[in-house]
Amino acid sequence: MWNWDGPTRYYSDPTRKYITYDNPPLKDVTDANQVIKMEENALINALAIGMILNGTVILSPFQCSENMMLRCGLNSSYKISAFDSQFRRDYRESIYLCKALVPDNKRKSVSATFLIQTHADESHFVQGDLS
C-alpha cells in the first residue's frame, strides 16, 4: 500500500478538483457484453466530462469479468498500461477516497448530483481503444 504522497501530491493537491460517477445499474441485464459496453460508455463519458471541466475522475468499481456478482478495479477489464498512456493524470482508483492520505476536506466535499443517462449503443466522445 502507498503511504507516501510524493512531490506531485497525488493525494493532497489542494487545487485539484474531482469528479465521481457510478456505473449504470444492472437490473435486468444478464449479457456480460452489454454490461461491459455500458460500463465503458460510463467511463468514457466521465473522462470526457473530467477533461471538459479540468477535473480528475474517481473511477467507479467495475463488474468483475469472471464473476458478474462482484465489483473489481479497472485492471479487471482494461490494460492499465494502455489506459495510463492516455489518462495517467486524469483519474484515481475507485478506492481513492478511502485512502488515509486523502485530506478530510477533499473526502467530505460533495456538490450536487447530476444524472447523465447513457445507453450501450451510443457513440463516444473520446476516441481510442481502452481494452
pLDDT per residue rounded down to tens, the chain (131 residues): 456 778 888 888 988 999 999 887 777 777 778 888 888 888 998 999 999 999 999 999 988 877 777 888 888 878 889 889 989 889 999 999 998 899 998 888 888 777 776 655 554 444 344 43
* Confidence at residue 125, expressed as pLDDT on a 0 to 100 scale: 41
Q: Is residue 126 part of a domain?
A: no
Asked if the structure places residue 99 within a domain, the reply is yes
Number of domains in the chain: 1
Instruction: Examine residue 130 and state whether it is found in any structural domain, yes or no.
Output: no
Q: Which domain holds residue 71?
A: 18-108
Question: Is position 97 within any domain?
Answer: yes
Write out pLDDT tens, residues 94-110: 999 998 899 998 888 88
Q: Quote the pTM value.
A: 0.79
Q: Is residue 119 part of a domain?
A: no
Sheet holding 18-20, edge to edge: 18-20, 56-58, 91-92
79 contacts 131 by C-beta, under 8 angstroms: yes
Task: Tell whether 128 is covered by a domain.
Answer: no
21's grid cell: 460517477
The answer as to whether 124 is a domain residue is no
Taking alpha carbons only, the member of 98, 124, 115, 129 closest to residue 21 is 115
The residues, any chain, with a CB within 8 Å of residue 117's CB and separated by 6 or more, are 24
Q: What is the pLDDT of residue 58?
A: 95
Bridge partners of 20, per DSSP, are 58
